[in-house]
Amino acid sequence: MKSQVKLGTVFGVELGLHYSWFLIAVLIVFSLAAQFHIQDPNWSSLTIWLVAITTGVAFFAGLYVHEISHAVVAKMYGIPVHQITLFLLGGVAQIEKDASDAKSEFWMAIVGPITSAILGVVFLGLAKVAGWNLWSIPTTPGIAILVWLGYINFMLAAFNMLPAFPMDGGRVLRALLWWGMGSAERATRYAARLGQWIAFFFIGLGILRFFDGAGLAGLWLAFIGWFLLQASGATLLQNKIGISLQGLAVADLMSDDYGVVAPSMPLQEFVHEKLLRAGRRFFLVAEQNHMLGLITSNEVKHKEPADWPLTRVDEVMVPAEKVFYASPEMSASDALEMMASRDVHQLPVISGGRIAGVISRAHVLQQLRLRMDLGRLDIDSSIEKTS
């Protein structure tokens, strides 16, 4: 999930917001305002709204801390994390690839709930120091904020530990199954299927609660179930694709049919002679087969047409150090995963600093269709053979 609003970078990870986040942010603030009004009707409207907004901001900051903990552990195991996005249903860290072993998967998954639980302890501890008595109703705005944040972080830790893949608890379950079975594929299949059953339970319970008078709360629970069902199904499909591509490297699927332009080419010539005529999505900028960068129509759009004749391609291209690329030895499934996580349709293939070819989603999907036509996509038997 890509961020539409960029907030900054922490530990090399970009923090952002999806447009859907604004809806949940408004709902939470209004809900908090109503709760604090009931809790102490003597507070002024200004106090209630300030407390509600402050609590909401701190809550979402806690979600970022939860996701950052995932990112920090992932980086400790050498797994790149480039973006964390808050959206309608919480937060998600854009982890470039899956863990390579059960141990790293376990710690990457469980650190999030542990972090939320620690935040809960910290907030309730601060409330205690400020004069709050356990189980009593907070009497001051500051204590009310701390108590709400403490309880909600405990609830987040518990909810995230539900064994519903791809939630944290589902990933912990997959790590334990992986360790016991010795097969990542089988562990993923069982964890994702359990996630689907839990999703069906949430959907059913949410619908029942809606007709029982719970209103929006019932629909919200059903929506969470629907999201889990979609995510679990996508995981199962990704698992099947990974199995079907076993043994295939980027070198087996890449093409040497790619577009190259010189860095000194005027932008106007590039647009009219290359971009409009070739029908390609992107071009590599290179000299003597060494990639200097990449250029697409997106880079061209940032320049006024009147400036095209006097602008060189290398003045607007994406420089090589910012281009994501694959190596010929990379597995085809890893390349597909990289394209999906980066939301790109193709990757340059670089070997020894020189351009070796290009691989696209179309190349991988063509191979998948071919294998299906040949009757080789027998997932269950493939899983048993690899276990």
Question: Does position 93 have pLDDT exceeding 60, yes or no?
Answer: yes
Both 138 and 7 in one domain: the answer is yes
Query: Which amino acid makes up residue 304?
Result: E
Q: Are 173 and 108 within one domain?
A: no
Greater model confidence, 321 or 151: 151
Measured distance CA(346)–CA(259) in Å, rounded: 12
For position 265, which CATH number holds? 3.10.580.10
pLDDT per residue as tens digits for the range 152-191:
999 999 999 999 888 899 999 999 999 999 888 889 889 9
Say if 383 falls within a structural domain: no
- pLDDT at residue 41 in the model: 85
Confidence of residue 18 (pLDDT cuts 50, 70, 90): confident
**What is the pLDDT at residue 9?**
87
> How distant, in Å, are the alpha carbons of 167, 176, 181, 245, 380 from that of 386?
25, 18, 11, 13, 10
Instruction: Please state whether 325 falls in left (phi above 0), alpha (psi between -120 and 50) or beta.
Output: beta
User: Residue 282: its pLDDT value, please?
Assistant: 83
pLDDT class of 385 with cuts at 50, 70, 90: very low
- Report the run of H or E that residue 44 belongs to, with start and end: none
Please check whether residues 44 and 173 belong to one and the same domain.
no
Q: Identify the three-state secondary structure at position 266.
A: strand
* Whether 361 contacts 379, CB under 8 Å: no
Q: Specify if 380 maps to a domain.
A: no
At 41, is the secondary structure helix, strand, or coil? coil
Task: Choose the final residue of a domain: 161, 182, 207.
Answer: 161
Residues 34 and 91 in one domain: yes
Same domain, 304 and 347: yes
Cβ neighbours of residue 366 under 8 Å, at least 6 residues apart?
Answer: none
- Numbers of helices and strands, H then E, in the chain: 15, 10
In a domain, 32, yes or no: yes
Domain-ending residue, one of 119, 138, 161: 161
Cβ burial 73-83 (10 Å sphere, 16+ → b, else e): bbbeeebebbb
Residues 150 and 31 in one domain: yes
Place of tokens 């997959």: 174
Q: How many domains does the chain have?
A: 3
Give domain status of residue 384, yes or no: no
Say if residue 297 is in the same domain as residue 283. yes
Would the pLDDT of 380 be above 80?
no
Amino acid in the structure at residue 39: Q
| pTM for this entry | 0.73
Residues 50, 89, single domain; the answer is yes
93 in Cβ contact with 70 (< 8 Å): yes
pLDDT at 383 over 60: no
User: How many Å apart are CA 76 and CA 52, to the nearest integer?
Assistant: 36
Average of per-residue pLDDT across 141-160: 94
Domain that holds residue 133: 1-161
Q: 208: which residues sit within 8 A by CB, 6+ positions away?
A: 218
* 281 plus 304 within the same structural domain: yes
Categorize the per-residue pLDDT at 29 as very low, low, confident or very high, splitting at 50, 70 and 90. very high
Range 301-330 average pLDDT: 88
In a domain, 382, yes or no: no
**Whether 154 and 215 share a structural domain:** no
- Predicted local confidence at residue 386, as pLDDT: 41
* pLDDT bucket at 50, cuts 50 / 70 / 90: very high
Q: Report d(CA 275, CA 122) in Å as an integer.
A: 56
Lowest mean pLDDT among 110-119, 232-241, 284-293, 321-330: 232-241
Q: How far apart are the first and last CA of the chain?
A: 32
Residue 379 belongs to some domain of the structure: no
Q: For all residues of the chain together, what is the average pLDDT?
A: 86
Assigned domain for 319 exists: yes
Answer whether residue 378 is part of any domain.
no
- Are 7 and 122 contained in the same domain? yes
Q: Are residue 212 and residue 270 in the same domain, yes or no?
A: no
The tokens for 101 are 């072993």
pLDDT at 377: 46
Residue 217 has pLDDT above 50, yes or no: yes
Q: What is the DSSP letter of 213?
A: I
User: Which of 161, 184, 211 is the C-terminal boundary of a domain?
Assistant: 161
Helix (H, G, I), strand (E, B) or coil at 94: strand
149 against 320, higher pLDDT:
149
